[in-house]
Amino acid sequence: MQTDLQVVLDEAMQLPEADRLTLVSRLMQSLPPSDTGVSLDDPELAAELDRRFAQSDEGVAWSQLKAEG
């Protein structure tokens, strides 16, 4: 990662969660439309994510995912 980008990321990570979500949303809106055919606003995608979440028996801690990455 470039130094300037790392500085911005470090600063962004200090923001409250709601502000980080707003930042992510605005950054996503600044990108050209994706050709994947999947939209984050797609009700079918939301339903599938809800189904998978309901199926999961247990969560995975962020610290565990980060350690594995």
Query: 2-53 pLDDT, tens per residue?
Result: 789 989 999 999 999 889 888 988 888 888 876 666 677 788 888 887 887 7
Report which secondary-structure segment, H or E, holds 31.
none
- Using the Cα atoms of residue 15, residue 4, residue 63 and residue 42 in order, give the sign of their dihedral: positive
- Dump the DSSP string for 43-67: HHHHHHHHHHHHH-SS---HHHHHH
55-59: average pLDDT? 68
The token pair at 69 is 């990455």
pTM across the whole model: 0.47
**Which residues, in sequence order, are CB contacts of 1 under 8 Å at separation 6+?**
9
